[in-house]
Amino acid sequence: MSNNLLAIWTPGPIEILFTLVFLGIPIVLIIVFLRLILRNKNENIRLRLEVGKLADELEKVRKQKSAESDDSINTSG
């Protein structure tokens, strides 16, 4: 008798399928979406650092060129 009562509450294959479709798939999609956001954030940080390095390097080159042009004007003038 108690086995019959407990068997009423056990999920069958259709209930398990519905549970996976309506709960499992959205949870997996949320996890994938969050991982993509975190990866994108880390890549943006890496790109900002790289652009900063390149900007510093460009500034150094410009200063060197302006110093060289100032030296050539002073020595020829």
pLDDT recorded at residue 70: 74
Quick: pLDDT tens for 9-57: 777 888 888 888 888 899 999 999 999 999 999 999 999 999 999 999 9
pTM equals: 0.56
What is the SS3 string spanning the chain? CHHHHHHHHCCCHHHHHHHHHHHHHHHHHHHHHHHHHHHHHHHHHHHHHHHHHHHHHHHHHHHHHHHHHHHHHHHHC
pLDDT recorded at residue 76: 62
